[in-house]
Structure 1
């Protein structure tokens, strides 16, 4: 009996393991996925996705979980809710983007299949190789924005890139919006840039005024295209504060009475939220000393040597006011250089004299030796060697005591005979 009871228990467990997954799988497929997933734009600052609800065959409260993913970017999951819309801010619509929606029964493990929508064509049609490349913008706070780009790889020779921009200070997408619009329908709502720079006749940059305050958290959207069907538009979304470049500080530096160097710089409109970096170069060292993340408008360098020349400069960047928590701010240009000359002390003069005096003595000695040699020649001239001046005949005469000469050769006389010719000659017969 005990063995029969044990077999019955094992058989029951086996049947539960075998049949329950099948019934559970049927429950898994019992909830249909959402349908009619579409997208549009609520202005230029918010991408809106909508879908139709799932058929509630499970008789439960249905919620929808969303996952937003882009190429080479970690997917971002959004919390589940009963809304049939989703808003996406600050996305790069120039890349391949996927949006996935899944229906689920609240407080159960019943899920639907995923419904996925690619939204790569949100910025319009066209060959991607004609779109601009290396696009970037800098906000030279608080005056203007300068955007630059490189023409596309397969750009037509007659392309005429145009930049249109939009600004907004809204912190989030609206929930009470009208029917989402398509990208090309929103182009007439932007402002056109007019101050272009050109390279080989093709626009490669544009500058427009942007006189906002950092505290307003402005957002900026720019679109670059020639608005033809052949050139694909390029869309750029950024928080203005993330591209803000402050003006370089105007600095003043002086030595204090207690042997320090005091550096101060001008006030700015947002100085409480600005970090500064001070760069110091000493004349007796090739290594720069850097003081980073300075809050305030001054820095004091202690124990400054009086005989060393110091060269200092300062730059600044924002420390917050970013539209994103991981905002990376741009440093300003370096300020004009301030140089504090060192003062030589007595020890330096002594060392200099010890080096100069031996050199002066050596040079004087060389000059004196040269002139002494010339003076000796003037006072004691050299006696010429008679043997080199007089001929060998004089030496022989001095040796033998008699006149030495060469007898002249006898002149050879040739006899001359004179033939007289008669004045008249006999006639020739």
Structure 2
């Protein structure tokens, strides 16, 4: 009995020690998640997330991995690092963002639970149904940016949209971020647009000067809101080069002696890409020549009897193309090259024209035949209608038709003579 009791006690001690060591091992393998995850804006170009470090219960080198999830987009994962902050650029913060941070021990499989922060506070308060829709901007390089939008679904007639913009050429966010800032606290730091366009009294667009160079890779942030904070602001972040629209080129075109067509144009931007559109008079299908890096192109074996119409447009070079591609410029003015007719065409044309001319001449002759007959055979006049009736009487009697007076009338003539001198007066 004594020996059995002793064995039972020893076995119980071993079981207790096993579970105690197991619980201690699990406790050492457990890593608490980061705490106090906060969000702020470092200017208008960077979002900054901060958190407190995890408690190092596993006695290891702790690193933090981050995941940024935007609605309807692929999650962006960032590799583990020891930093307690994360800077995020080029984010559409008009939609909700989920930011997740997780602690992990370096070179082990020990990880903490995830800490997630939903972010939809960047644009502040306001009615989202009054916020602008279909917002877009075009940079008419190198002069100005034109932004347009549509009013919100519930926008009142007296809504006064205001566009504020910021530009930057910095490629990295500031590392001296200290205190989160509210969106409306950043509005006074931007430049106000003043050249608005209106529709029914509501601002629907604005134009502002933007004369940066493409090589600077400038970034642009615009915000459309109102100073009363009744409109939920709409933020638009874009690389300026991705909305740049160059001026159309000036082109010239001519036929070469070897039956080719040479098309050339001026240089709008160095190393720009061009598209040439050719339309033939004998075909409804356009011929496109895309992504031409030079300043000319030659179309071989051009038919001499066909009219060619050509035009050219230009865009920025492909090495700086962002997702979605660059904007094409407007088309240049058209150049038309008339075709040269050959002898066969002239013969066919004459065969068609000669019968037509004969038919038209015959119709004209039929219409004016009566007049033509009068011209060829003039009418002989009737003497009886031209001369008096005395002619017929003269021809009938064979003598003169002069009627002598039956009685000669003699008028007496008296002559009165007047003396040349008067008798002297007594």
Contact 2:139/2:240 (<8 A) preserved: yes
Once the two structures are superposed, the pairs formed by residues 211-290 of structure 1 within 5 Å of their partners are 211-268=211-268, 270-272=269-271, 274-290=272-288
Name the counterpart of 2:350: 353
**Cα distance change, pair 68–28 in 1 and its aligned pair in 2 (3 A):** farther
Q: How much is the aligned-residue C-alpha RMSD, in angstroms?
A: 2.7
Name the counterpart of 2:386: none
Query: 1:104 and 2:104 equivalent?
Result: yes
Q: Secondary structure at the match of 2:348?
A: helix
> Among residues 342, 348, 362, which one is paired with 2:339 in the alignment?
342
Name the counterpart of 1:54: 54
**Cα distance change, pair 257–59 in 1 and its aligned pair in 2 (3 A):** same
Name the counterpart of 1:190: 190
Name the counterpart of 1:304: 302
Hey, what's the Cα distance between the residues in 2 that align with 1:325 and 1:370?
Answer: 76
**Cα distance change, pair 340–32 in 1 and its aligned pair in 2 (3 A):** same
Contact 1:215/1:321 (<8 A) preserved: no
Name the counterpart of 1:293: 291
Once the two structures are superposed, the pairs formed by residues 22-37 of structure 1 within 5 Å of their partners are 26=26, 30-37=30-37
Contact 1:227/1:233 (<8 A) preserved: no
**Cα distance change, pair 371–189 in 1 and its aligned pair in 2 (3 A):** closer
Name the counterpart of 2:5: none
* Runs of 5+ consecutive residues of structure 1 not aligned to the other structure: 1-18, 377-429
Contact 1:133/1:151 (<8 A) preserved: yes
Once the two structures are superposed, the pairs formed by residues 376-415 of structure 1 within 5 Å of their partners are none
Q: 1:199 offset after TM fit, Å?
A: 0.9
Contact 1:241/1:321 (<8 A) preserved: no
Hey, what's the Cα distance between the residues in 2 that align with 1:162 and 1:317?
Answer: 31
Hey, what's the Cα distance between the residues in 2 that align with 1:283 and 1:154?
Answer: 51
Q: Deviations over 1:2-21 (max 9, x none)?
A: xxxxxxxxxxxxxxxxx9xx
Name the counterpart of 1:156: 156
**Cα distance change, pair 137–38 in 1 and its aligned pair in 2 (3 A):** same
**Cα distance change, pair 144–118 in 1 and its aligned pair in 2 (3 A):** same
Name the counterpart of 2:408: none
Q: Secondary structure at the match of 1:359?
A: helix
Q: Secondary structure at the match of 2:188?
A: helix
Q: Deviations over 1:124-151 (max 9, x none)?
A: 1122111111000000000000000111
Contact 1:49/1:87 (<8 A) preserved: yes
Query: 1:90 and 2:90 equivalent?
Result: yes
Contact 2:27/2:57 (<8 A) preserved: no
Aligned residues: 356
TM-score (norm 2): 0.78
Contact 1:277/1:315 (<8 A) preserved: yes
Hey, what's the Cα distance between the residues in 2 that align with 1:193 and 1:372?
Answer: 81
Q: Deviations over 1:213-246 (max 9, x none)?
A: 0000000000110132321011110000000000
Q: Secondary structure at the match of 2:354?
A: helix
Name the counterpart of 1:128: 128
Hey, what's the Cα distance between the residues in 1 that align with 2:40 and 2:228?
Answer: 21
Name the counterpart of 1:80: 80
- Range that drifts further, 58-67 or 325-334: 325-334
Contact 2:41/2:47 (<8 A) preserved: yes
Q: Deviations over 1:76-115 (max 9, x none)?
A: 1111111000111101010111101111111111111111
TM-score (norm 1): 0.78
Q: Secondary structure at the match of 2:215?
A: helix
Hey, what's the Cα distance between the residues in 2 that align with 1:32 and 1:344?
Answer: 88
Hey, what's the Cα distance between the residues in 1 that align with 2:25 and 2:128?
Answer: 43
Hey, what's the Cα distance between the residues in 2 that align with 1:23 and 1:263?
Answer: 82
Hey, what's the Cα distance between the residues in 2 that align with 1:363 and 1:192?
Answer: 74
* Runs of 5+ consecutive residues of structure 2 not aligned to the other structure: 1-18, 374-426
Hey, what's the Cα distance between the residues in 2 that align with 1:375 and 1:299?
Answer: 63
Name the counterpart of 1:9: none
Q: Secondary structure at the match of 1:186?
A: helix
